[in-house]
Structure 1
Amino acid sequence: MASKLIRGIVDIGVNLTDPVYQGVYYKSKHHPPDLDRVLVRTEQSGITQMIITGGCLSESREALELATTSNMLYSTVGCHPTRCLEFETCKEGPAAYLASLRALVMSNRESGKIVAVGETGLDFDRLNFCPKEIQIKHFEPQILLSIELGLPLFLHCRNAFNEFHAVMKKHITSCHGGVVHSFTGSLDEAIAFTDMGLYIGINGCSLKTEDNIKVVSGIPLDKMMVETDAPWCEIRQTHASYKFIKTQFPAVKKEKWSGDKMVKSRNEPCKISQVLEVIAAIKGCPIDLVIEKTYENTKNMFFPKL
């Protein structure tokens, strides 16, 4: 069984299976694997739990395998909207692909390591990866899978609010909770989601513009969770939220990799401190309060038995 949850900071969305943590960028090797060093920096940052995102069937298997190596790691199982063509290209058919997702969860129930179904949802900003109709077709079955398995949803919504909201509304009363991660929508959209009982996941992509900041300032802390979406979504100098950051991290270009420094433009979980600092600043509250509230939200949904 998974160990008792340690109170601290929970990063609800990390992509630790990404090749960049093996030193591979766009299929080119630039430095030795350094995930072990990333995890050391993570522990030093105050993060006590992380949820590794499963973006497709094979990635969900990798995420789970990695999660079993540490008490601080957990994972999700699902298929990202931009990768839903995998349902269609599955040799045995879409139903078999979904059955494989189900089997992965069912065969690992005792470990407690799989805490959500996802990443699933709709992304109409990147239809070049997967057509709209295919995304919609395979969104609802994953919602139904989460209901069947008694797991919350790790959700993705980009430029697809109306369709996303309509599908969720059909099933929300049967769902076991969910979080719309990496939120970049409007305050009206956020309120519509929280009124349904969903949480909002905040990371660097949620804090790029002044409009983003206004939206986050209007989301109650008791409806918020925090994440890095590492290696993506770091807060950059061009972001409106950068002025609120207090903690900086030494970084070098990947070509000049050094084990004791972060890689420039590659986000790491330890940078969740910056997300927390920005939220505290725009909310005008102590950072400890942000940590406390987001921890409670996360524990109640993803770790209710720990």
Structure 2
Amino acid sequence: MKIAEKFLKMGLRFIDIGANLTDPMFQGFYGGSQKHPADLDRVLDRAWQNGLDKIIITVGTLNEFDGALNLASTDSRLYVTMGCHPTRCGEFEPDPDLYYSNMCKSIEANHNRVVAIGECGLDYDRLKFCPKEVQKVYFEKQLELAEQFQLPLFLHCRSAHEDFMEIVTRNRSKIVKGGVVHSFDGTSEEARKIIDFGFYIGLNGCSLKTEENLKTVQEIPLEKIMIETDCPWCGIRPSHAGSKMVKTRFPTIKKKEKWAADQLIDGRNEPCHLRQVIEVIANVHNEPVEKLADIFYENTINLFFRK
């Protein structure tokens, strides 16, 4: 039985809470040069065939929003976020009020497709793109969007846990619909504080790299977990601790120039890889994939899709 047929027969439903589907890789571009034909249509076909029920397209800057929205308009199963990634917060300047106003207009005009404010937060690993103080100012500013539009948050926190928690705690009254800290790779203590605040935790391949990561995942309550790919990034690599727990393998080619319609490209993550993420989590928690799929699906519906 083919992989897709098996998933569909099992009745599994998945929601990828973070997919960068507007990335040039899905148009065949890598490092500025085209290596193969655009194949996003095939990427999405593989996703739907492998149990994906919905995909949330991550928006990391106002300039990306129209492209993400245009894509979402092609399929009722696609949704978008609206926010400014911490490494891109310099785009608020030199006119922060205008930038914020344009974000508001975009959300107001597309309230049926925008399901979260984000990707926003703090990233102290890549300060060369945006200084700490600028990130903090505009992360806090975007929390006003969550309050104004009564939307949950799609959050980014990288090597910035203390400042991140200080900002969300100080602005707790604005966070009316909760949120999820995506691509989590922090410590067990950090996970506990995030959960105690009321947030969910989003897990992908980057969350499953080391044995320490896996121990942390084991301690996260299932009712606080959501799954994502963060594609085309954050796939589960052979060097990752979680790789040995993956059961589902897809036909893959090593060289991009050897592209084939029915094969995935090594190193380019896709929404269909969500199956691998849940397989690792199921192994770590010693629970069946079917049980976890139902729990994570309901967690995601409750945060993003239940009004």
TM-score range, shorter chain: over 0.9
Structure 2 partner of 1:3? none
Structure 2 partner of 1:293? 295
* In structure 2, distance between residues paired with 1:52 and 1:125: 23
AA aligned to 1:157 is C
* In structure 2, distance between residues paired with 1:238 and 1:206: 13
Kept in 2: contact 1:7–1:295 (CA 8 A):
no
Structure 1 partner of 2:65? 60
* In structure 1, distance between residues paired with 2:171 and 2:50: 38
Structure 1 partner of 2:206? 205
Structure 1 partner of 2:36? 31
Kept in 1: contact 2:12–2:293 (CA 8 A):
no
Kept in 1: contact 2:115–2:304 (CA 8 A):
yes
* In structure 1, distance between residues paired with 2:178 and 2:13: 21
Structure 2 partner of 1:129? 129
* In structure 1, distance between residues paired with 2:210 and 2:199: 23
Among 71, 80, 90, which residue is 2:76 paired with? 71
Structure 2 partner of 1:41? 46
* In structure 2, distance between residues paired with 1:251 and 1:59: 29
How far did 1:71 drift? 1.3
Give me the TM-score of the superposition, normalised by structure 1.
0.95
Structure 2 partner of 1:161? 161
AA aligned to 2:113 is K
Structure 1 partner of 2:261? 259
* In structure 2, distance between residues paired with 1:62 and 1:193: 32
SS in 1 for 2:282: helix
Number of matched pairs: 295
1:215 and 2:216 correspond: yes
* In structure 2, distance between residues paired with 1:101 and 1:55: 12
How far did 1:174 drift? 3.5
* In structure 2, distance between residues paired with 1:154 and 1:170: 18
Kept in 1: contact 2:12–2:51 (CA 8 A):
no
* In structure 1, distance between residues paired with 2:229 and 2:180: 14
AA aligned to 2:215 is K
Among 278, 281, 287, which residue is 2:280 paired with? 278
CA shift digits 1:108-134 (9 cap, x unpaired): 12xx21100000000000001111111
| Unmatched 5+ stretches in structure 1 | 1-5
Kept in 2: contact 1:244–1:281 (CA 8 A):
yes
* In structure 2, distance between residues paired with 1:250 and 1:221: 30
* In structure 2, distance between residues paired with 1:278 and 1:8: 17
CA shift digits 1:239-289 (9 cap, x unpaired): 000000000011112111111111110000000000010000000001111
Structure 2 partner of 1:243? 244
Give me the TM-score of the superposition, normalised by structure 2.
0.94
* In structure 2, distance between residues paired with 1:117 and 1:7: 28
